Structure 1
Amino acid sequence: MIPYSLYILSTRIIDPLYGYEKILCILLLVILIIISIFEMKRIIRIVVSIISAVTIVFHYYLLYLLSKFEIIKIQLFLVQEITSNGAAVTIDFGQIMLILIIYLWRREIARITKYIVRTLITFIAR
């Protein structure tokens, strides 16, 4: 039995996609290294948040490019790639990075949310 790929694309099309995938992997490794080495002080949280945001953009841009050649279904923490020859399920790194950003800034988000709720309650009570 001869193995075959899910789809056949020219190297002109697929090589840039592999380049974006390599950049995405490097960004993920940088985030993991920074988190494992440094304490999450303010400047490190900002750096990790920026790198995570760039990772999210690259991830969904890559999915956008792939959607021209296959069906992409984004589910909770998963991405399903469907072609005429089969399907593959992978982790949705965009959603994971978003959770990481929310986790890093959870205290600030809670403080701002409490302020907004108090302001709305005060405004409605008038």
Structure 2
Amino acid sequence: MEKTRLAQPVAQLPVEDVEKAMAYYVEKLGFYIAWLDESKWIGAVHRDEIAIFFRRTEEPFTPNIHWIFAEDVDASYLEMKNSGVDIIDDIEDKPWNQRQFTIRDLNGHLFYVHHDI
């Protein structure tokens, strides 16, 4: 049987407030709003090849961890730093042959922004 083509997975992040999460990603991270359900319980943002869904939850949740590949991780670091993003680990070369830094969004979700060395 021939395999069908698959694309990148899309993260769905639990959040306290979908509109606030979307505004943060637009203002701080340079995403644009892809869509927002009229109930405002689910929505999505998009930037370059990344799509992220947000789903409102009233239950406690554990923040997620995701990896984002950056073509120029040093430029991405400066862009995010200048936008006031919460950078919790500064940019550095890691022993696993990646140059990376870590950001945290307003709901506590972590993103390792990296580039292979």
Is TM more than 0.5 here?
no
Could you state the TM-score of these two structures normalised by the residue count of structure 1?
A: 0.30
> Normalized per residue, which structure has more strand?
2
* The structure with more radius of gyration: 1
Give the alignment's TM-score, normalised by structure 2. Answer: 0.31
